[in-house]
Amino acid sequence: MATLNVVGACRSGFSLLLSSCLYKTFIRPKFEYGLAILPLKRTDTIQLEKIQDKCLRMIVGGHRTLSTTVLKHICHLPSMSFRADVLITKFCICTHYLPSGCLLSLLHHHHSQSSSLVTLRHNTLLQSIPIDLNVHSGKALKHHFETFRQFKTDQLQLSSNQVLFLACHPLLEVDPILFLSATRVERSRLVRWKMGWLPGTPKDCPCGTDHTSRRHLAVCSLVPAHLLACLPIPSDQNYNSIDFAITALPNSSQAPCPSYWVALLTILWHFDKLCNSDGDYTHETHFGTLWAGLS
């Protein structure tokens, strides 16, 4: 991971989308090796999660205590626990259909009490597979895995009190903010807002009425009201209007640019100025033109 970090899989290098793809392709398989046949203890899965979290923090340049829940969600990266369950499930399915005379089947038959297959088959994901599912179809199996993971994520969101996680896109897919047409700076602000780095640690707002919290910025008098009026209105008044606008973005880069796109990026620019007044913002005069200009 350190090598990828040096060549560009970092905050100042490749895009977050590309960096996460590089991680999934070259790094994650390294510590997934052997998981399919290993009955994991809770301490094992915790350690695996820590390794993955460390890699993801390297990509975004985050502090070692940074929560990666939102980061994994927007990059469509499952937990290592779920990845292990998938690998174990696939292995158990393969062993179930092995010829009775092959070595693994014979070993399991003669040493069934000590065989790890007995433990591996207690996998919740494996047991959730419907009887009528065609397990020989990779497409059908993948769909079931995604459906199962979506169900677990929905349950987690219902029981979670993490504001940033609750503001994430409800569907398990790469978040549109990672691939919709935007400049590097614009995309950075979108990601930072989702991660909670914008506004970051609350401090006195220049307007003098409150701190630079997510709640206050959405109604701050220093942010032009006509821009805020352009955003779609959430049905739940407690839902942050910026979060709702980002969640409402289309899931395809081929979709037409929403009418509020320019306003959204301009608002985030104002937020950045209010929260990080030391930055240089003079070079930014037009926002959202990469996508708006295509529509």
Per residue in 20-55, pLDDT tens?
A: 999 999 999 999 999 999 999 999 999 999 999 999
Task: Indicate whether 171 belongs to any domain.
Answer: no
Average pLDDT, the chain: 91
Specify the range with the lowest mean pLDDT, choosing from 82-96, 115-129, 207-221: 115-129
Is position 242 within any domain? yes
182 shares a domain with 159:
no
If asked whether residues 81 and 209 sit together in one domain, one would say: no
In a domain, 197, yes or no: yes
284 and 228 share a domain? Answer: yes
Q: What is the pLDDT of residue 112?
A: 67
Backbone angles phi, psi at 204, to 5 degrees: -60, 130
pLDDT at 113: 66
Whether residue 68 is found in the same domain as residue 205: no
Highest-confidence range of 58-67, 231-240, 255-264, 286-295, by mean pLDDT? 255-264
Residues 256 and 113 in one domain: no
Could you tell me if residue 194 is inside a domain?
A: yes
The answer as to whether 30 is a domain residue is: yes
Q: Which of 133, 166, 199 is the last residue of a domain?
A: 166
Assess if residue 15 is contained within a domain: yes
Q: Are residues 126 and 247 in the same domain?
A: no
Share of the chain above pLDDT 90, in %: 71
User: Where does a domain end: 166, 188, 221?
Assistant: 166
Q: Same domain, yes or no, for 8 and 153?
A: yes
The answer on 35 and 145 residing in a single domain is: yes
Q: Which of 166, 199, 223 is the endpoint of a domain? A: 166
- Residue 153 shares a structural domain with residue 181: no
Q: How many domains does the chain have?
A: 2
Once rounded to an integer, what is the mean pLDDT over residues 204-216?
93
What's the whole-model pTM score? 0.89
Range of the domain at 228: 176-292
Q: Is the pLDDT of residue 295 over 60?
A: no
Q: Is 150 found in the same domain as 193?
A: no
Q: Give the mean pLDDT of 165-182.
A: 93
Q: Which pLDDT score, from 0 to 100, does residue 173 have? A: 94
161 in the same domain as 186: no
Are 194 and 228 found together in one domain?
A: yes
